Amino acid sequence: MNKQMRLTLSTVLITSCIVPMGAAAADSQSPASSAVQTQPSSKQSLRINLHSEVPTVDPAITEDQLSAAIVRATFDGLMRTGTDGKLKQSVAEKVQVSSDLKTYTFTLRNSQWSNGEPVTAHDFEYAWKRALDPRTASNYAFMLYYVKNAEKANKGEAKLDEVGVKALSDKVLQVTLEGPTPFFLELTTFPIYYPVNKKVAESNPKWAAEADTHVGNGPFQLKEWKHKESLVLEKTQGYWDKDAVKLERIEATMYEDENEELALFQKGELDWAGQPLSDLPENQISTLKQQGILHTQPIAGVYWYKFNTEQAPFQNVKIRKAFAYALDRKALLKETSREQMLPAYGVISPSMAPDAKSYLPEEGKESAKKLLAEGMKELGITELPRITLYYNTSEAHKAMAKAVQKQWKEVLGVRVKLENVEWKVFLDKMHNGDYQVARMGWLSDFNDPINTLELFQTKEASNNDTNWENAEYRKLLEQSFQESSPEKRKQLLAKAESILMDEMPVMPLYFYTSAYLKKENVKGVVIDGLGYVDWKWTSKE
């Protein structure tokens, strides 16, 4: 997997979520002002705001929250996440999986494109190979690498015809994987796995650039798109599951000013404000929470500090644990205005495992002092070497680093120097092992614990800047890839997390959440474990 790209994308997303964006005065006129509709055009019309122009509505090159929101509305994959958070068969009416978990055979239901043409298995085969074609330049092509020869084809080392996806007929799609992938069905809910109408795409390379030429197979179709101003979706009358779709329209404005968006919501001109389509003003979060109107939902992302286990004094596990135990995470979130986030006492997000075990004490100051003394004794030192905490340039990262520095001083008596480093230099330091402690974040590519745990599978893994490895941990992850029983696999991954937390190469601070406001009559909005939104089942009561 191209994990360096994952890291970069994750960091960009994390920064956009937690750093206040520049904004004009709340009463200023934005380019979208003329497009605002103060009254919904129908009872079943949802009014939303997109923070900026939608970069694309082509599934192959979708890689941001705004694009994904519109693509998920206008396309339908083999599987879809339902209102209960569980996978549902969508375009796939039947799924057969081989005993070795390497071959999936999908039988498609009768469904159609928004232009009336039937959706076939050939559309899926074409779409996946199109996304893998280097000429398409899809940054998320790596999400298809679980398919046999997909990575080689994307890198020009194999022909696209050799990729393990083939339409056996109009209704039957067969997929051959590189190896057992227990979470493969969840992957098919991602835009990169959606079908594309071959005839439309080949006849017009810019088919996805305008509402008039866009063709999808989802519950909604793109009706209007005034670039950088507004966008309108309408219910697709030919959608196979149209009876489940209650909304008739989704009307979107495009205001960049978060304060203006909040004001429109408070005046009743929007039904939704905040993530995942925009952000709420950072200085209003605490007030909105106190008013009891702020909604938060865990997503598969964790903010943590990494220890370099090959640099003193953090080669000692007790000292690493002492630094982790010394922190009051709830106090950190309050002090840094991150109260909408969830304190993390493990590395696996509640979106992946709602019943995940807590490995860190909420109140661990005395344990921290004891562990520090024992660790120093094991190293034969009476004084810690100078400790430096690195963070990349960001006011949010700086605020968290200062709060952590303060608690370490109060609990452990440790003086920590803070070092602010420009992003590229910061990454170089991390990858070269030129650090002791450094901040980082991880947003998972799919909502499964393996996507977090595999970061530390080997010492050589591209994102394992901690230089930590453990033979038993690696074995457990390898076993999880072969395990067909969901419960046994869950146990293997839980045991792996316990090893990671016991040896503490990373110190989790908090889990990311989606924070938003919605009108009380808006029901059935699905936000999945990664923070992506789906309006298929949404209604206004």
Residue 31 lies in a domain: no
Phi and psi for 369 in degrees, rounded to 5? -60, -45
pLDDT on residue 33: 36
Instruction: Let me know whether 192 and 323 are in one domain.
Output: no
Instruction: Let me know whether 205 and 321 are in one domain.
Output: no
Where does 23-91 show beta strands of DSSP type E?
A: 45-49, 79-81, 87-89
**CATH number of the domain where residue 171 is located:** 3.90.76.10
Residues 440, 459: Cα–Cα separation, whole Å: 17
Q: Which residues in 230-266 are b (16+ Cβ under 10 Å) and which e? A: bbbbbbbeebbbeeebbbbbbbbbbbbbbbbbbbbbe
Instruction: Let me know whether 95 and 196 are in one domain.
Output: yes
pLDDT on residue 296: 93
Residues 459, 469: Cα–Cα separation, whole Å: 5
Please compute, for residue 508, the number of CA atoms within 13 A of its CA located in the half-sphere on the CB side: 27
Instruction: Let me know whether 216 and 302 are in one domain.
Output: no
For residue 392, give the nearest of 303, 300, 301, 281 by alpha carbon.
303
pLDDT on residue 29: 33
Structural domain containing residue 510:
297-514
Instruction: Let me know whether 195 and 336 are in one domain.
Output: no
Instruction: Let me know whether 436 and 342 are in one domain.
Output: yes
**Could you identify the residue written with the tokens 């106090």?**
331
Instruction: Let me know whether 303 and 171 are in one domain.
Output: no
3-state SS, residue 473? helix
Instruction: Let me know whether 82 and 179 are in one domain.
Output: yes
Residue 534 lies in a domain: no
Instruction: Let me know whether 303 and 213 are in one domain.
Output: no
Instruction: Let me know whether 90 and 188 are in one domain.
Output: yes
Residue 230 lies in a domain: no
Asked whether the beta carbons of 492 and 472 are under 8 A apart, the reply is no
Residue 8 lies in a domain: no
pLDDT tens for residues 179-223?
Answer: 999 899 999 999 999 999 999 999 999 999 999 999 999 999 999
Angle of helix 317-325 versus helix 365-379 axis, rounded to 10: 160
Residue 469 lies in a domain: yes
Residue 96 lies in a domain: yes
Domain end marker among 166, 189, 220: 220
pLDDT on residue 42: 60
Domain end marker among 169, 203, 220: 220
Q: What is the DSSP letter of 307?
A: E
Residue 485 to residues 51, 64, 460, 479, 493: CA-CA distances in angstroms?
42, 33, 29, 11, 12
Residue spans of the chain under pLDDT 70:
1-42
**How is residue 191 written in tokens?**
């835009």
Opening angle at CA 101, ends 97 and 102, nearest 5: 95
**CATH number of the domain where residue 499 is located:** 3.10.105.10
pLDDT on residue 41: 53
Question: What is the tally of structural domains in the chain?
Answer: 2
3-state SS, residue 357? coil
Residue 265 lies in a domain: no
pLDDT tens for residues 469-495?
Answer: 999 999 999 999 888 888 999 999 999
Residues 415, 393: Cα–Cα separation, whole Å: 21
CB atoms within 10 A of CB 420: 13
Instruction: Let me know whether 302 and 195 are in one domain.
Output: no
Domain end marker among 191, 220, 249: 220
Residue 325 lies in a domain: yes
